[in-house]
């Protein structure tokens, strides 16, 4: 009899333990991914409803750390665009555990649990059942929905409440990350946001990319970290756009004479504004013509990684569309055709056609979607970037500078790291570095706590860095627009140092 009761007790306890587990452990856990190797960590994916009017739901992909996930922080990753997928770019091209070809597991036991969010609705597998929602998405709507997502995600994963929390991102994440962080900071409840990390970038008509790494006026009943990391982010339109032509010139892609035209006659910021408003003046048209003559000869260069070879099977390089637009300048009068504007936007979003096409094919496989608990709602196929979201996103938000927001976050005590790859011509480090220094010295009146110098990884110069207290800037040497994809070890060193609250190593 005693043995029978013992068996029943064990069975009862087992059932209770299963019942006490978060429902997502059963419903959102991924058993296996087609074509991928076996793993010894857990990963999850599924949907969180973020709004009812109109109905919309966000898709997420969550990867627990391979070792000791219970003691490691939580990092949220936001890819920009606006309209591009954190699942496709962040998780499967830049720094997730898998590549879509599934040959070998990418060894990335980061010191964190990684949460990838496809945001706003309409991006990737995220959706709204009311298509009219895509006609008026703004930065404010995106930030509010992202915050609702976090609240409800923590409800599904209560074991992560109270964990150190970081927000990271890139490209137009340069808007997403600081605006989400500001919402958290402005809440009146106790929070412990650790920081943000940003990589500045110009995806989709030069819109920002922001990475907040601790990756991070609603209420939270849990604690957050207080650090922000942003990679190649577009933070300020004026700072970032005007350095593109200087970057071309400094890398031999443009002559002295043409660069002087951009500097003295019609700078790049003005040119883009006139193109967008379809009111191209005669002086800017002449500058455009001169640029076309030179840049058309270098149309086989990847603008996101100027030293890399292009994918010859793609049919066109990342620059071809842009230069096609430039070479039609002679036929322009006071406006550009809408098709040229669309092509220009598409050019800015193109990165690595070979790998990107593999990603698109993979996530359109029915067996992959089933494994991810994903579905296509009101769209025919999954894509790395959503034209519906990008074309209809409120363009005026592009011109809103994030510098004041970053200033607020720094003054609130958050640690903020902004970094750039030095091979990215889309959001060159030149403008980002100037912007960070101006924010630190002119706006916040911060003292330099670590002077500009090289930092090291594996006894090699890995880049350059400067610190102003809890605001820091870093360059990753040899890195493209998507730094982790081209310099994974150096990017990991930067990421790890930030999570640990340490300066980058400045000795070999």
Domain harbouring 482, CATH code: 3.40.50.1820
Residue 13 lies in a domain: no
Name the range with the highest mean pLDDT among 58-62, 73-77, 311-315, 335-339. 58-62
The pLDDT of residue 13: 36
Same domain for 421 and 282? Answer: no
Give residue-wise pLDDT tens across range 220-268. Answer: 222 333 455 555 555 555 666 677 888 888 888 889 998 899 889 988 8
Report how far apart, in Å, the C-alpha atoms of 502 and of each of 46, 74, 154, 493 are: 34, 18, 28, 11
Per residue in 98-111, pLDDT (tens digit) is 888 775 555 555 67
100 & 33 share domain: yes
- Are 279 and 186 part of one and the same domain? no
- For residue 195, how many C-alpha atoms fall within 13 Å in the half-sphere facing its CB? 23
**CA–CA distance, 384 with 152 (Å, rounded to integer):** 25
The secondary structure of 284-300 as a DSSP string is HHHHHHHHHHHHGGGTT
Q: Cα dihedral angle (266, 268, 271, 275), rounded to 10 degrees?
A: 170
Residues 203, 66 share a domain: yes
In a domain, 364, yes or no: no
| Residue 278 lies inside a defined structural domain of this protein | yes
Is residue 479 assigned to a domain?
yes
Query: Which structural domain, as residue segments, surrounds residue 336?
Result: 254-300+312-351
Are residues 241 and 281 located together in one domain of the fold? no
Which residue, among 407, 465, 396, 400, has the nearest Cα to 181 in the 3D structure?
Answer: 407
Per the domain annotation, does 44 fall within a domain? yes
Question: Given the DSSP bridges, would you call strands 165-170 and 74-79 parallel, antiparallel or unpaired?
Answer: parallel
Q: Distance between CA atoms of 318 and 148, rounded to whole angstroms?
A: 36
> Are 152 and 185 contained in the same domain?
yes
Catalytic residue numbers read 171, 424, 481
3-class DSSP assignment, residue 194: strand
User: How far is residue 113's CA from residue 168's CA, in Å, rounded to a whole number?
Assistant: 12
CA distance linking residue 84 with residue 351, whole number of Å: 12
Q: Is residue 206 part of a domain?
A: yes
151 and 182 in one domain?
yes
Residue 379, both tokens:
């769209």
Least confident of 37-46, 74-83, 220-229: 220-229
Lowest mean pLDDT segment, chosen from 211-215, 348-352, 469-473, 503-507: 211-215
Residue 410 shares a structural domain with residue 270 = no
CA 235 to chain centre: 13
d(CA 106, CA 101): 11
Residue 305 lies in a domain: no
> Do residues 347 and 409 both lie within one domain?
no
Structurally, the chain folds into a number of domains equal to 2
Residues 215 and 93 in one domain: yes
* Nearest Cα residue to 383 out of 417, 428, 350: 350
Predicted pLDDT at 306 = 76
Q: What is the pLDDT of residue 105?
A: 57
Would the CA dihedral through 397, 171, 175, 467 be positive or negative? negative
Query: Residue 390 phi/psi, 5° resolution?
Result: -65, -45
- The reply to whether 439 and 470 lie within a common domain is yes
Residues 262 and 236 in one domain: no
Predicted confidence (pLDDT) per residue in 427-476, tens digit: 888 888 988 999 999 999 999 999 999 999 999 999 999 999 999 999 99
Q: Is residue 438 part of a domain?
A: yes
Strands 43-52, 74-79: pairing kind: unpaired
């Amino acid at each position: 009899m005693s043995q029978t009761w013992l068996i029943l007790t064990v069975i009862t306890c087992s059932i209770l333990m299963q019942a006490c587990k978060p429902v997502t452990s059963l419903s959102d856990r991924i058993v296996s991914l087609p074509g991928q190797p076996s793993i010894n960590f857990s990963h999850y994916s599924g949907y969180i409803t973020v709004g009812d009017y109109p109905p919309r739901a966000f898709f997420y992909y969550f990867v627990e750390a391979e070792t000791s996930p219970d003691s490691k922080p939580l990092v949220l990753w936001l890819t920009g665009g606006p309209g591009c997928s954190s699942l496709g770019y962040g998780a499967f091209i830049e720094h997730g555990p898998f590549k879509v070809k599934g040959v070998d597991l990418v060894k990335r036991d980061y010191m964190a649990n990684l949460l990838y969010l496809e945001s706003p609705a309409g991006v990737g597998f995220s959706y709204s059942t009311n298509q009219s929602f895509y006609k008026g998405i703004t930065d404010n709507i995106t930030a509010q929905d992202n915050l609702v997502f976090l609240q409800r995600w923590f409800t599904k994963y209560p074991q992560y409440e109270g964990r150190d929390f970081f927000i990271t991102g890139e490209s137009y994440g340069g808007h997403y990350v600081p605006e989400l962080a500001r919402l958290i900071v402005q809440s009146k409840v106790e929070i412990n946001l650790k920081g943000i990390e940003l990589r500045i970038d110009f995806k989709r008509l030069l819109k920002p990319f922001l990475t907040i790494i601790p990756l991070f006026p609603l209420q939270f009943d849990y604690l957050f970290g207080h650090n922000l990391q942003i990679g190649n982010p577009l933070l300020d339109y004026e700072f970032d756009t005007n350095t593109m032509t200087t970057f071309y010139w400094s890398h031999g892609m443009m002559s002295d004479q043409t660069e002087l035209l951009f500097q003295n006659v019609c700078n790049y910021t003005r040119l883009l504004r006139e193109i967008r408003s379809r009111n191209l003046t005669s002086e800017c048209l002449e500058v455009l013509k001169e640029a076309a003559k030179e840049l058309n000869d270098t149309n086989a260069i990847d603008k996101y990684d100027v030293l890399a070879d292009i994918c010859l099977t793609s049919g066109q390089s990342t620059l071809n569309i842009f230069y096609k637009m430039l070479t039609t300048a002679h036929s322009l009068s006071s406006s550009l055709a809408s098709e040229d504007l669309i092509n220009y936007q598409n050019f800015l979003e193109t990165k690595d056609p070979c790998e990107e096409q593999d990603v698109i094919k993979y996530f359109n496989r029915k067996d992959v979607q089933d494994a991810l608990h994903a579905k296509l709602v009101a769209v025919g196929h999954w894509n790395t970037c959503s034209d519906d979201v990008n074309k209809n996103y409120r363009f005026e938000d592009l011109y809103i500078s994030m510098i004041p927001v970053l200033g607020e976050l720094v003054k609130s005590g958050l640690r903020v790291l902004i970094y750039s790859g030095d091979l990215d011509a889309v959001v060159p480090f030149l403008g980002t570095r100037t912007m960070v220094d101006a924010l630190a010295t002119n706006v916040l009146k911060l003292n330099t706590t670590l002077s500009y110098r090289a930092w090291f990884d594996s006894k090699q110069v890995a880049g350059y860095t400067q610190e102003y207290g809890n605001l820091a800037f870093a360059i990753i040497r040899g890195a493209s627009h998507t730094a982790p994809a081209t310099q994974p070890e150096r990017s990991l060193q930067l990421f790890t140092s930030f999570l640990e609250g340490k300066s980058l190593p400045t000795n070999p």
